[in-house]
Structure 1
Amino acid sequence: MGYFPDFSIETWTLLAFVIALIAVYGYAPYGFFKKIGIPGPTPLPFIGTFLEYRRGIHNFDTECFQKYGRLWGVYDGRQPLLGVMDTDMIKTILVKECYSVFTNRRDLGLNGPLRDAVSITEDEQWKRIRSVLSPTGMHLFNDFMFHSSNLIQSLHKKVESDEVIEVKEVFGPYSMDVVTSTAFSVDIDSINHPSDPFVTNIKRMVKFNFLNPLLVLVVLFPFLKPLFDKTDVSLFPADVMDFFYKFLQMIKSDRNKNDHKNRVDFMQLMVDSQVSENNKVDNSSQKGLSDHEILSQAMFFIFAGYETSSSSLCFLAYNLATHPDTQKTLQREIDETFPDKGRPTYEALMQMEYLDMVVNESQRLYPIANRLERMTKASVEVNGVIIPKGTVVMIPVYTLHRDPALWPEPEAFKPERFSKENKYNMDPYAYLPFGAGPRNCIGMRFALLSMKLALVEILQNFSFVTCKETQVRRSFQFFMYDELKVDLNFGFVSFVTHFASLDSIGAGK
């Protein structure tokens, strides 16, 4: 009996050919960076360096930086990614050559109803959508104030019961209510109704796993992407997407039927652009948004607005609880700006220097986006480095923000880094919590306003206090933090002796 099947020569030839094709497919892409002289970890056949993300993207990026320097190459499956930590190159990528070469982000597909979202669309479609979405801030301030008041009332109830508070369960509903009211003028009051279907569905929506089998398939076999796109396959649960899509269709239908011209929210901005397009009589090339584009933006606002603001507030609470002197300094500025626990005003809030320093430093240590990405539309030379067409250029924000050459004592929480004097000497491309250039985060002002207002109103009434359960527990996923947990106590602030004593803060608490 032989060791091998008794195949014909033709069959053996065909089998050898298939094996050779598989080997070529599995190994062929991995000479990419060697050809252009870029170092990096050794990729595995088919999967590249993708499995290294199991230990956390931020850990992998930091290890690569420490081992290979300011430029390195890795592979998501067959896709080459060039890691860039050089701030001069970052400026060229995000600003100077944004429109010519680095306009678009990588699109992995599987976006479903989000396929027309401003963060995903490319070139002229992106420019058109972005031009419609003029972020508002001051005009929405009263909505922010209403929900921050609800937040304080909710915290009073929790603090009076002397319970340890998992802060994401507080800041998540606040962020949800702010997003839905300012984007769609809908008040779901998730602070007082945590079991509302809107709340439960958004929590399911943001539980994104980068090892999702669908995503792994697209990374390993990118030729499947057009098939998934055509069949509208999505990474997000179908029933969740259906829920939000129907909800937003109902809101948009109401806007079309009724006169809401006096409303100033994101939905009305988009509907107005569509109405203007329908009524247009000239030959202007500027087009309004389609029905699907409007619904894609609306879903994206919910997804991005909820997660970014709530997670940033959690990290702010943690940093202040573990740095009580910083917290007291911030409370002093709040009292000086708004005496006798006066309600904040937009103008005064925007002028608070130490508040801005604290928020900036917290976002330096814990940026919500681990990475920024741009896809090259053409081969280009940047600072002597030739970057071929089709390369994903990746800026590891978490690692950049902890580079000791840019940030002395990078692991320390020091708001003074962002004082006016120090900011003057700071490299602007060393700090990128919202990106930079024409394609930066469109919701930056919105997010900062909601965070600053919540923080001021909380610290007028309470202090963040650590307890035995206090730690940051998070799992880093593809771009955001998932399942972030921070447990804290909240102590009542005694206004009369504001900095001499803090009521209800005991040593054993």
Structure 2
Amino acid sequence: METITSPTRPIPVHPGLPLVGNSFEYLRDPLAFLRRLQQQYGHQRMVRISVGGRTTTLMLKPEEAKHVIQENNRNYGRGKSFAILREFLGNGLLTSEGDFWRRQRRLAQPAFHRQKLVVLAETMIDEAVAWVDRLEKSLTDKPVNISAATIDVTLRIVTRTLFGSSLGDQVDGLSSALSNLNHVANNAVINPIRFPRWVPTPDNRAFVDATNRVNNLIFGIINTRRQTSESRDDLLDMLLRATDEETGEGMSDAQLRDEMVTLFTAGHETTATSMAWTLYLLAQHPDVVKRAKTEINATLGQRDRPSTDDLRAMPYLSQIINESMRLYPPAWVMSRLSLGPDRFGDYALEANQGVLISPYVLHHDPASWPDPERFDPDRFAPESGSDRHPYAFLPFGGGPRLCIGNQFALLEMQALLSVLLHRFELRPVLGQKITTQPLITLRPKQAVAIYLA
């Protein structure tokens, strides 16, 4: 890579306070802060900010995002915030790098091939039908806590598709532990003061307790499965049997643990959150629900259960999911670290510099998305958006590190939505105010409630 010595112009710097930089602005409302930066510096394409004692460059346009995560991706490692995530996720696909990541990706990729997803989709559809049956039996004249309902069903789906069973009471402990770790990690990312893990702060005690619970459960499951030759149609079985075509080696117990924890976290919380946001939006847009129900009814007829082929034959449902993830992308920000210098037109970036790419910012850029706050699934109709930059929409990231479970997640949401909308009408709770809570994922801060009838 060329050595950069004389940039044409410096990267703009957003002014901040002594010592704390822009931390207060960021902590007050991260999404509003990033949107203000987009409005103020969008024409300059990038801006430097200082948060939590770290200076980083926020890329504001899809061309720069593509350069970092695709065109010159080998020059960008995981950002410093990933070191915190790595403490509890381990060295799984989300947090690992370099040759180790490439090997793990090769090992895991076959588990997510189309023919494997067809098998897993049957489990998703089973659980979707059972979920709607439970909702129907429990209906009252009160609104349904859809946030809790989507957490419940995605938890059931991820445990069955990962482990082949519901795990019983153990799954509640696993979900609780991982949720606690999520909060600890978020606190560590934004707090410039970090104590070593041996210091008994409340966060450190929570971290150690949750990590021990996760490890005991996952290693126990792996040990039990290694002792049997029984074949199962779940992701753990596929990963247990995976071997590297170059070396013939499989995954160690530690590698399996890291991948299972990563998949459990990603497959549970992000899908539940996306479902909650999607149903929140649908309840406010009866015209969209009417079109979706027309498509679902035409596809399913009198059947309550869709097939995998049915899910792929409902394009408007896919448009709804995409538009929901545009407005509320689960992975709302991604961090990288430049390994060497790089050039972006007139700007130069030095080595060892933090880089931020925010799908939330890119998804709300009026240059790519006119009237960006409006919920309009027709933005994703086949005939629209042909001139839109492909990196203006990054719900699952992009480049070589595109989320390995993206098709899994989309199939799951299609299964849940198709069965729910086939059975129920949706009505909003009048006066309900839902705001965003940008932690590791972009959650609703309040529980989403809707009426089902």
TM-score (norm 2): 0.89
How many positions carry a matched residue from both structures? 437
Measured after TM superposition, the shift of residue 216 of structure 1 is 5.3
1:204 is matched with which residue: 180, 183, 189?
Answer: 180
Q: Does 1:176 align with 2:155?
A: yes
1:310 is matched with which residue: 265, 269, 272?
Answer: 272
Question: Match for residue 157 of structure 1?
Answer: 137
Structure 1 segment 230-249 matched on structure 2, within 5 A: 237-249=207-219
CA distance in 2, matches of 1:245, 1:36: 50
Question: Match for residue 75 of structure 2?
Answer: 101
Q: Is the 8 A contact 1:133 1:266 kept in 2?
A: no
CA distance in 2, matches of 1:380, 1:464: 50
Measured after TM superposition, the shift of residue 163 of structure 1 is 2.1
CA distance in 1, matches of 2:126, 2:356: 39
Q: Is the 8 A contact 2:154 2:268 kept in 1?
A: yes
Question: Match for residue 254 of structure 1?
Answer: 224
Question: Match for residue 409 of structure 1?
Answer: 371
The letter for the 2-side match of 1:435 is G
Query: 1:447-474, CA deviations, whole angstroms, 9 ceiling, x for partnerless residues?
Result: 1111110000001110221123533243
CA gap of 1:196–1:82, structure 2 versus 1, over 3 A, is: closer
CA distance in 1, matches of 2:312, 2:445: 31
Q: CA RMSD in A?
A: 2.8
Q: Does 1:121 align with 2:101?
A: no
Measured after TM superposition, the shift of residue 113 of structure 1 is 4.0
The letter for the 1-side match of 2:122 is N
Question: Match for residue 148 of structure 1?
Answer: 128
Q: Is the 8 A contact 2:273 2:444 kept in 1?
A: no
Q: Is the 8 A contact 2:11 2:348 kept in 1?
A: no
Question: Match for residue 402 of structure 2?
Answer: 440
1:454 is matched with which residue: 416, 424, 427?
Answer: 416
Question: Match for residue 164 of structure 2?
Answer: 185
The letter for the 2-side match of 1:250 is G
Q: Is the 8 A contact 2:52 2:189 kept in 1?
A: no
2:17 is matched with which residue: 7, 23, 44?
Answer: 44
The letter for the 2-side match of 1:138 is V
Give structure 1 stretches of 5+ with no counterpart.
1-33, 492-509
SS of match in other structure, 2:401: coil
Q: Is the 8 A contact 2:47 2:57 kept in 1?
A: yes
Q: Is the 8 A contact 1:473 1:485 kept in 2?
A: no
Query: 1:282-339, CA deviations, whole angstroms, 9 ceiling, x for partnerless residues?
Result: xx44643222121111112222211110010011101111000110000000011111
Q: Is the 8 A contact 1:401 1:407 kept in 2?
A: yes
Question: Match for residue 53 of structure 1?
Answer: 26
Measured after TM superposition, the shift of residue 363 of structure 1 is 0.8
Q: Does 1:320 align with 2:320?
A: no
Measured after TM superposition, the shift of residue 424 of structure 1 is 2.6
Measured after TM superposition, the shift of residue 58 of structure 1 is 1.1
Measured after TM superposition, the shift of residue 439 of structure 1 is 0.7
The letter for the 1-side match of 2:180 is R
CA distance in 1, matches of 2:39, 2:80: 25
- Structure with bigger RCO (C-alpha 8 Å, 6+ apart): 2
Q: Does 1:335 align with 2:297?
A: yes
CA gap of 1:188–1:288, structure 2 versus 1, over 3 A, is: closer
Question: Match for residue 4 of structure 2?
Answer: none
Question: Match for residue 300 of structure 1?
Answer: 262
Give structure 2 stretches of 5+ with no counterpart.
1-6
CA distance in 1, matches of 2:392, 2:153: 31
Q: Is the 8 A contact 2:296 2:418 kept in 1?
A: yes
CA gap of 1:482–1:144, structure 2 versus 1, over 3 A, is: same
Question: Match for residue 137 of structure 1?
Answer: 117
Query: 1:139-189, CA deviations, whole angstroms, 9 ceiling, x for partnerless residues?
Result: 212211221122111210232x22211111100011111111111112146
SS of match in other structure, 2:400: coil
SS of match in other structure, 2:66: helix
Q: Which moved more, 1:341-350 or 1:163-172?
A: 341-350
CA distance in 2, matches of 1:381, 1:486: 44
SS of match in other structure, 2:311: helix
Q: Which moved more, 1:457-466 or 1:234-243?
A: 234-243
Measured after TM superposition, the shift of residue 406 of structure 1 is 0.9
Measured after TM superposition, the shift of residue 235 of structure 1 is 9.1
Structure 1 segment 338-417 matched on structure 2, within 5 A: 338-417=300-379
Q: Is the 8 A contact 2:108 2:239 kept in 1?
A: yes
Q: Is the 8 A contact 2:20 2:53 kept in 1?
A: yes
SS of match in other structure, 2:437: strand
Query: 1:219-242, CA deviations, whole angstroms, 9 ceiling, x for partnerless residues?
Result: 457xx7xx659x9x9696322222
Query: 1:94-133, CA deviations, whole angstroms, 9 ceiling, x for partnerless residues?
Result: 21111x3124344453443422121111111111111111
CA distance in 1, matches of 2:336, 2:449: 36
Q: Is the 8 A contact 1:40 1:64 kept in 2?
A: no
